[in-house]
């Protein structure tokens, strides 16, 4: 684990599945003066100071918290640090106004990395028995199954009010190996595990994590309803609307959905090679024109399956294929082709869209209604650390835990500003477990796609330069 400024690592708390948000449920009332370093961060709303995050005093000039807590404020004078009391409504607490907000230069709120910041207060903090700094950890440690202390004023329940009195809870360090089954965790994180009805809640972000009296971490994020324990929930897409993705197709084998694909020509559908490997065109068809699996607008039979000649199933490389249809597709409002991106692009940090009918749960049934999900391009370098076979002809995306791709989504389209940029290839099981998803990068196969379609249809494939936004992507790569 890397130390921040040689002292502290960011802290990741793990409770349950769902969207990540700062989440203390099931703790105990802290004794007065027990944690003199504890800070309540406030902002001015309706003529009163409202608690929004925690923090810790580390010197007479500085308070440490998470970057997510202070990154939202353009003016530091809107932030106040309240210290010296366990009670949010205390009248004898001491208030210091912020002078400067310092967010770690590498902070990424989407990926929750380098989630650390400092608040420089406008006047020196006066120490007494109820106001003291906490020492920072100066050595790296393995906290697996080690008892750790967290304090904060987070909600009583996920939909409740904040505690008035400071709460304390003992959590245990959780191994990175196990934590990575539930969330994408870096070495700059510490992972903890709590039982049902114990954990963190809204208002706890930035709160200190303490081991043997020294500060080792800060509350960064957790998953799901506060204090609900580990559970498995729906892979987090939303229902698509009729006609929203007219290029989307359902690949069928003997009438049963098994993969997704996209219409790129009146006689060709693009999909993943692993969807078609070992299959015969005789029992393959595609359903088009509907967001519902049981109500397609039309069905077309496959004539020939064109798998990339260099496809390697073991290494997941060149995972791309075309289906040459027995008849031309009749285009309608609900059935249209999609343009292929005609330039390469660095998608890191860009918002992309993926659709599919994959399983709603890792061991559940496939969705009957087409699902859509916004994902974000992830660093190629970071993805290589997760998947050793990741290469430049892949695109990597990462989203929140419990949001991602699952069985049945393979072959579906990844789009940017309405243009096809990728094909769902592979990810780590179980589905949507906080690891990156990997797509075949369509641009790298433009020549092969052209040749295959021209040979199979005797027609020139017209690849249209997509949107103006795609062009801008090229300009600023």
- pLDDT of 430 reads 55
Q: What is the pLDDT of residue 230?
A: 31
Confidence of residue 252 (pLDDT cuts 50, 70, 90): very high
pLDDT tens per residue across span 283-299: 999 999 999 988 889 99
Binned at pLDDT 50, 70 and 90, residue 213 comes out as very high
> Which range among 110-119, 189-198, 213-222, 248-257 shows the weakest confidence by mean pLDDT?
189-198
What are the sequence ranges of the domains in the chain? 21-229, 238-262+285-301+331-449
Mark whether 282 is an active-site residue: no
Q: What is the mean pLDDT of residues 89-93?
A: 91
pLDDT of 256 higher than 60: yes
Q: Can 21-229 and 238-262+285-301+331-449 be said to share one CATH topology? A: yes
Quickly state the pLDDT bin for 3 (edges 50, 70, 90).
Answer: very low
For residue 426, CA distances in Å to 22, 257, 286, 373, 439 come to 30, 18, 21, 16, 7
pLDDT of residue 406: 58
Q: Is 274 a catalytic residue?
A: yes
* 286, HSE (Cβ side, Cα atoms, 13 Å): 36
Predicted local confidence at residue 384, as pLDDT: 81
CATH architecture entry for 21-229: Beta Barrel (2.40)
From the candidates 85, 137, 410, 425, which is the catalytic residue? 410
| From 115, 155, 204, 319, active-site residue | 319
Q: 271, 289 in Cβ contact below 8 A?
A: no
pLDDT at 366: 67
pLDDT attached to residue 437: 84
Residue 4 has pLDDT above 90, yes or no: no
Q: With bands split at pLDDT 50, 70 and 90, how would you rate the model's confidence at 218?
A: very high
Three-state DSSP string of the chain = CCCECCCECCEEEECCCCCEECCCECCEECCCCCCCCEEEEEEEECCEEEEEEEEEECCCCEEEECHHHHCCCCCHHHEEEEECCCECCCCCCEEEEEEEEEECCCCECCCCECCCEEEEECCCCCCECCECCCCECCCCCCCCCCEEEEEECCECCCCCCECCECEEEEEEEECHHHHCCCCCCCCCCCEEECCCCCECCCCCCCCEEEECCEEEEEECCEECCCCCCCCCCCCCCEECCCCCCCCEEEEEECCEEEEEEEEEECCEEEECHHHHCCCCHHHEEEEECCCECCCCCEEEEEEEEEECCCCECCCCECCCEEEEECCCCCCECCECCCCECCCCCCCECCEEEEEECCECCCCCCECCECEEEEEEECCHHHHHHHCCCCCCCEEEEECCCCCCCCCCCCCCEEEECCEEEEEEEECCCCCCCCCCEEEEEHHHHHHHHHHHHHHHHCCCCCCCCCCHHHHHHHHCC
Is the pLDDT score of 47 beyond 80? no
Categorize the per-residue pLDDT at 127 as very low, low, confident or very high, splitting at 50, 70 and 90: very high
Check pLDDT > 60 for residue 14: no
Contact between residue 366 and residue 358 where contact means Cβ atoms under 8 Å apart: yes
Active-site residue among 51, 257, 274, 394? 274
Q: How confident is the model at residue 362 (pLDDT cuts 50, 70, 90)?
A: very low
Q: Catalytic site residue 410?
A: yes
Q: How many CB atoms lie within 10 A of CB 1?
A: 17
Task: Tell me which fold the domain 238-262+285-301+331-449 belongs to.
Answer: Thrombin, subunit H (2.40.10)
Percentage of residues in the chain having pLDDT higher than 70: 74
Return the minimum-mean-pLDDT range out of 36-40, 366-370, 445-449, 470-474: 470-474
Q: With 70 as the cut, is the pLDDT of residue 222 above it?
A: no
- pLDDT confidence of 327, banded at 50, 70, 90? very high
């Amino acid at each position: 684990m890397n130390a921040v400024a040689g002292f502290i690592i960011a802290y990741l708390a793990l409770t349950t599945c769902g969207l990540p948000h700062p989440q203390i449920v099931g703790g105990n009332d802290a004794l007065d003066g027990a944690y003199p370093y504890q800070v309540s961060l406030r902002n001015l709303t309706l003529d009163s100071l409202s608690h929004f995050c925690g923090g810790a005093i580390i010197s007479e000039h500085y308070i440490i918290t998470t970057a997510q807590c202070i990154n939202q404020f353009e003016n530091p004078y809107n932030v106040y640090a309240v210290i010296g009391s366990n009670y949010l409504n205390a009248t004898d607490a001491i208030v210091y106004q912020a002078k400067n907000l310092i967010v770690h230069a590498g902070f990424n709120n989407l990926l929750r990395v380098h989630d650390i910041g400092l608040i420089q207060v406008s006047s020196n903090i006066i120490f007494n028995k109820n106001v003291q700094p906490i020492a920072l950890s100066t050595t790296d440690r393995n906290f697996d199954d080690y008892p750790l202390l967290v304090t904060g004023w987070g909600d009583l329940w996920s939909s409740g009010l904040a505690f008035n009195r400071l709460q304390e809870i003992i959590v245990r360090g959780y191994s990175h190996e196990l934590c990575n089954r539930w969330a994408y965790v870096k070495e700059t994180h510490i992972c903890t595990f709590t039982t049902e009805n114990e954990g963190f809640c809204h208002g706890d972000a930035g709160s200190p994590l303490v081991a043997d009296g020294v500060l080792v971490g800060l509350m960064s994020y957790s998953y799901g309803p506060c204090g609900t324990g580990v559970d498995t929930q729906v892979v987090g897409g939303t229902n698509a609307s009729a006609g929203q993705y007219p290029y989307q197709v359902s690949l069928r084998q003997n009438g049963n959905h098994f993969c997704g694909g996209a219409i790129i020509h009146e006689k060709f559908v693009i999909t993943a090679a692993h969807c078609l490997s070992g299959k015969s065109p005789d029992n393959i068809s595609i359903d088009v024109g509907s967001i519902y699996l049981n109500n397609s607008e039309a069905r077309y039979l496959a004539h020939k399956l064109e798998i990339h000649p260099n496809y390697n199933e073991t290494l997941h490389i060149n995972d791309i294929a075309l289906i040459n249809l027995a008849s031309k597709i009749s285009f309608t409002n609900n059935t249209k082709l999609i343009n292929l991106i005609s330039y390469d692009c660095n998608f890191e940090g860009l918002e992309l869209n993926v659709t599919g009918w994959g399983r709603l749960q890792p061991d559940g049934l496939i969705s009957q209604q087409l699902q859509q999900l916004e994902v974000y391009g992830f660093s190629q370098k970071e993805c290589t650390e997760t998947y050793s076979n990741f290469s430049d002809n892949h695109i990597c995306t990462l989203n929140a835990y419990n949001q991602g791709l699952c069985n049945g989504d393979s072959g579906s389209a990844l789009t940017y500003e309405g243009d096809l940029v990728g094909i769902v290839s592979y990810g780590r099981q179980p589905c949507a477990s906080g690891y990156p998803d990997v797509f075949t990068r369509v641009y790298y196969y433009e020549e092969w796609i052209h040749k295959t379609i021209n040979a199979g249809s005797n027609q020139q494939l017209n690849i249209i330069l997509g949107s103006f936004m795609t062009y801008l992507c090229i300009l600023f790569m």
